[in-house]
Amino acid sequence: MEVEVEAAAAAAEREATNSVICQLADPEGNPLGAALYLPENASPKELNQVVNKLLSNEEKLPYAFYISDEELVVQLGSYLEKNKVSVEKVLTIVYQPQAVFRIRPVTRCSATIAGHTEAVLSVAFSPDGRQLASGSGDTTVRLWDLNTQTPLFTCQGHRNWVLSVAWSPDGKHLVSGSKAGELICWDLQTGKPLGNPLTGHKKWITGISWEPVHLSAPCRRFVSASKDGDARIWDVTTRKCLICLTGHTLAITCVKWGGDGVIYTGSQDCTIKVWETTQGKLIRELKGHGHWVNSLALSTEYVLRSGAFDHTNKHFASPEEMKKVALERYNKMRGNAPERLVSGSDDFTMFLWEPAVSKHPKTRMTGHQQLVNHVYFSPDGQWIASASFDKSVKLWNGTTGKFVAAFRGHVGPVYQISWSADSRLLLSGSKDSTLKVWDIRTKKLKQDLPGHADEVFAVDWSPDGEKVASGGKDRVLKLWMG
């Protein structure tokens, strides 16, 4: 009898406050506790308190909330009314952890640095965001001093265009690859090559990726991909090629060394191959694209790139300490979900994969009207951005691959994109000579950055979020600040 009375009282109370039955879930869809009755006047602020309580977070963390892929920015009642949602069914609310720090959008060009005598083809910040390297058609790599915004070293040694530059995630090494197929490791103290170029590739270098620091510290191994169809694993200390990964029938266009220790290569033979790195065995082949694979991105890419460095500018006493911190960051970012891979192709489509789970794609992402040139996961893995020759940048859900928004504004093909460290802003560089900063929350243009005199080939947002570098056909390197 008492139970009935309690139930009746609870029902009366619910009617009085008009509540909605909600189920909180994480981005993977795993429920957080049981379904709850939440009052219609509950806003994201109250939901934040509920989630922090349910997850028993000692330090309160910020969350954003989504109902069927749309962010909840008003009270529940207003949302239900506006979207004509039935209160009879359980409403699933997905909570997404947000970065605890905020990156200022870049708004002005703080330096225009001449120096290269041909187009700037690649730019890359070091993992701690303190140094910057650029590769150019003038066959040099340049290291820049970011404090004074002046050239530090002009690194000479290549015989042809420098197509790719890559920092090791511990910040100790820089390797560049050229159109002649050779690779050079640079001494960061002097700007001179460390020994002779590493040779072996028969055609130009299309990509370089380092072994993550949480798997091995100090960093020694990196992989290079080439137009000749091979990928090679090198040891930076012995300066030898350890393993040659052969199997692709056409050029390899992109290569990534994953956090689980495997290497992914995307090729013009329409396949993506997955390799283990002790003997160079092929473990998996991901098929589905109908044309060249142009770009690959990993959901964990930001933590793989920045290793142990984060926005707090900590210093590390030893490689072991660095490895430990990097592993903690990697595990925290990945959570319990498998590492995800996204591929963009000349067939206008993208695929989302979970290569550790299946050789079949999780989903096919369509919508671009031209080839997809560059794909990139946001640092928190929540979003995927894609740049295309159809002049648009598109935003997708990083877990499900569902389309979220299209950013239009460029009047030429979009070549490259880069994320701010807090995943709230996206940067794009285009043939139309501009850079644009897009706001992920409002899905609108936040900042238009004209200034280059010609096509912008390369953009990078520093891992510490402080600055942006861009380079292109007009031969100058531009630095942009907030």
Alpha-helical (H) ranges within 313-409 are 319-334
Nearest to 424 by CA among 392, 389, 456, 395: 395
Separation of first and last alpha carbons in the chain = 66
Q: What is the pLDDT of residue 4?
A: 54
The answer to whether 334 and 320 are in contact (CB under 8 A) is: no
For residue 59, what are the contacts with CB-CB under 8 A and spacing of at least 6? none
Give the residue range(s) of CATH 3.10.20.90 domains in the chain: 1-97
Please tell me the CATH code under which domain 1-97 is placed.
3.10.20.90
Whole-number Å distance between alpha carbons of 239 and 195: 8
Q: What is the pLDDT of residue 13?
A: 47
Q: How big, in percent rounded to 5, are the helix, strand and coil portions of the chain?
A: 10, 40, 50
Q: What is the pLDDT of residue 2?
A: 53
Q: What is the pLDDT of residue 314?
A: 82
**CATH class in words for 108-481:** mainly beta
- Tokens in use for 360? 């079949």
Burial of 25 (0-12, 13-18, 19+ CB in 10 A): middle
Residues of the chain below pLDDT 70: 1-17
Nearest to 445 by CA among 427, 459, 466, 421: 427
Give the residue range(s) of CATH 2.130.10.10 domains in the chain: 108-481
Q: What is the pLDDT of residue 346?
A: 94
Q: What is the pLDDT of residue 455?
A: 96
Residue 116: CA atoms inside 13 Å, Cβ hemisphere, count?
Answer: 31
Q: What is the pLDDT of residue 45?
A: 92
Q: What is the pLDDT of residue 29?
A: 86
The answer to whether 298 and 258 are in contact (CB under 8 A) is: yes
Whole-prediction pTM = 0.88
